[in-house]
């Protein structure tokens, strides 16, 4: 890396793990999309993708320079075709539904679910979001969009207890 | 450098580990192959450590799961039992200095603890080591435990 290059933490459509990419610091958002595809493996035609900052709702303007929209070294971004992701969370035979930006972290979704089901303190930390029909519990840093593929911009979670390991 | 060490060092440069470093979830202390010491952030409790170090044994990484031992970073020695993480619920089960002489954590992702515990593969599938993954699998599990409301601080406090 040199003075003209910055590192960004990328997630996006088809990118389930955080990926570190390197881009010129004077790049535009449009050029960042090209880099996201080449280095990050984002799976979609470039012209259909948008770039979002982590936990933000509005896509960045394509022609803007990264520095002009506040993106600098080691910031966290997301590239996806879905503009919103519908979620449903099941807990104790109840279901709550919401819609979030694909750049929303599981950390934020979990806090939302805790509020919805009024889980606090130990009850909150001893439950995790698990993708329905699987045993996958995405890490707190994972973006919602990494778990869905356009045009299916929706996902279901169960709020499950973290079991103590014994036996 | 062995292939295992090369893979491990490569994983440390990648997004999942560096993302955790950037968030302050963990930091690399040292690598002396086939061991690595990594410090993991803990939830703040009054007058308690802000992090705990663990020495990971990484032979044949990532095909074989690592094992982790609470470690005294300054003394470069096993952590004395009173200084292990303590608490209620899941905490004393995972951080149990009486298990195998304090040489590993009682977790399904641990190389030695999984031995003889085949039922864990179906009971705790989310905590089974995946050879296609990286060290952050184990780090995330420890980090989650150290941020449980059931974590209270030092075991001997």
- Domains defined along chain A, listed by start: 5-80 (3.10.20.90), 85-161 (3.10.20.90)
**pLDDT above 80 for B98:** yes
Q: What is the mean pLDDT of residues A76-94?
A: 97
Q: Phi, psi (5° rounding) for residue B131? A: -60, -15
> Is A9's CB within 8 Å of B22's CB?
yes
Averaged pLDDT score across all residues of chain A: 95
**pLDDT value at residue A2:** 64
**pLDDT value at residue B93:** 97
Q: Longest Cα pair distance anywhere in chain B, in angstroms?
A: 43
**pLDDT above 90 for B11:** yes
Residue range B14-34, pLDDT digits in tens: 999 999 999 999 999 999 999
**pLDDT above 90 for B157:** no
> Percent of chain A beyond pLDDT 70?
98
Conformation bin of residue B39: beta by default, left when phi > 0, alpha when psi is -120 to 50: beta
> Percent of chain A beyond pLDDT 90?
93
- Distance separating alpha carbons of residues B136 and B21, to the nearest angstrom: 11
Distances (CA, A) of A131 to A66, B70, B96: 34, 32, 30
User: Residue B104 catalytic?
Assistant: no
Strand order in the sheet with B67-72: B26-32, B35-41, B51-57, B67-72, B77-78
Q: In this predicted complex, what is the ipTM? A: 0.93
**Please, are residues A46 and A33 in contact by the beta-carbon 8 Å criterion?**
yes
**pLDDT above 80 for A144:** yes
Q: What is the mean pLDDT of residues A136-155?
A: 96
**pLDDT above 70 for A133:** yes
Q: Using CA coordinates, name the residue in chain B closest to A122.
A: B149
**pLDDT value at residue B151:** 97
- Distance separating alpha carbons of residues A122 and A107, to the nearest angstrom: 16
Smallest CA–CA separation between B19 and chain A, in Å?
A: 7
> Is B149's CB within 8 Å of A141's CB?
no
Q: What is the mean pLDDT of residues B60-84?
A: 97
Question: Which is nearest to A16 in space by CA: A108, A107, A138?
Answer: A138
| Partners of residue A76 in chain B, C-beta under 8 Å | 19
Buried b (16+ CB within 10 A) or exposed e, A105-117: bbbbbbebbbebb
Q: What is the mean pLDDT of residues B124-128?
A: 96
**pLDDT above 80 for A109:** yes
Distances (CA, A) of A71 to A27, A49, A77, B16, B70: 10, 18, 9, 20, 38
Q: How many CB atoms lie within 10 A of CB B121?
A: 12
**pLDDT value at residue A1:** 62
> Is A135's CB within 8 Å of B126's CB?
yes
Cross-strand partners of B69? B55
Cross-strand partners of B21? none
B residues 116..135 contacting A (CB < 8 A): 117, 119-120, 123-127
**pLDDT value at residue A16:** 84
> Is B125's CB within 8 Å of A163's CB?
no
Q: At what angle do helices B15-23 and B136-146 cross, to 10 degrees?
A: 30
The H-or-E segment that residue B69 falls in is strand B67-72
> How far is Cα of residue A108 from the mean position of the Cα atoms in its chain?
10
Model confidence, pTM:
0.95
Distances (CA, A) of A147 to A110, A119, A130, A136: 15, 24, 12, 11
Averaged pLDDT score across all residues of chain B: 97
Q: What is the mean pLDDT of residues A83-110?
A: 97
Residue range A6-60, pLDDT digits in tens: 999 999 999 988 999 999 999 999 999 999 999 998 889 999 999 999 999 999 9
């Amino acid at each position: 890396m040199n003075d003209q290059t910055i590192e960004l933490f990328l997630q996006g459509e088809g990118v389930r793990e955080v990926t570190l990419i390197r881009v010129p610091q004077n790049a535009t958002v449009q050029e960042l999309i090209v880099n996201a595809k080449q280095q990050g493996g984002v799976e979609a035609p470039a012209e259909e993708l948008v770039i979002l900052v982590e936990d933000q709702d509005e896509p960045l303007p394509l022609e803007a320079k990264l520095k002009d929209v506040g993106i600098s070294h080691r910031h966290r971004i997301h590239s996806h075709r879905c503009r919103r992701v519908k979620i449903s969370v099941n807990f104790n035979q109840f279901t709550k539904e919401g819609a979030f930006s694909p750049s929303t972290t599981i950390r934020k979704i979990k806090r939302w679910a805790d509020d919805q089901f009024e889980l606090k303190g130990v009850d909150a930390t001893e439950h995790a979001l698990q993708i329905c029909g699987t045993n996958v519990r995405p890490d707190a840093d994972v973006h919602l969009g990494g778990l869905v593929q356009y045009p299916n911009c929706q996902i279901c979670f169960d709020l499950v207890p973290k079991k103590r390991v014994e036996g | 450098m062995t292939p295992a060490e090369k893979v491990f060092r490569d994983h440390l440069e990648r997004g999942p580990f560096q993302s955790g470093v950037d968030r302050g979830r963990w930091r690399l202390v040292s690598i002396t192959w086939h061991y690595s010491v990594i410090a993991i952030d803990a939830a703040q409790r009054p007058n308690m450590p802000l992090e705990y170090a663990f020495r990971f044994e990484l032979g044949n990484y990532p095909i074989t799961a690592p094992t982790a031992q609470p470690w005294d970073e300054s003394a470069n020695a096993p952590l004395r039992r009173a200084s292990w993480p303590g608490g209620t619920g899941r905490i004393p089960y995972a951080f149990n200095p009486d298990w195998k002489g304090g040489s590993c954590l009682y977790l399904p992702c641990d190389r030695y603890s999984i031995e003889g515990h085949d039922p864990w593969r179906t009971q705790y599938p989310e905590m089974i080591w995946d050879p296609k993954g990286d060290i952050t699998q184990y780090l995330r599990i420890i980090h989650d435990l150290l941020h449980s409301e059931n974590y209270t601080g030092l075991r001997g406090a």
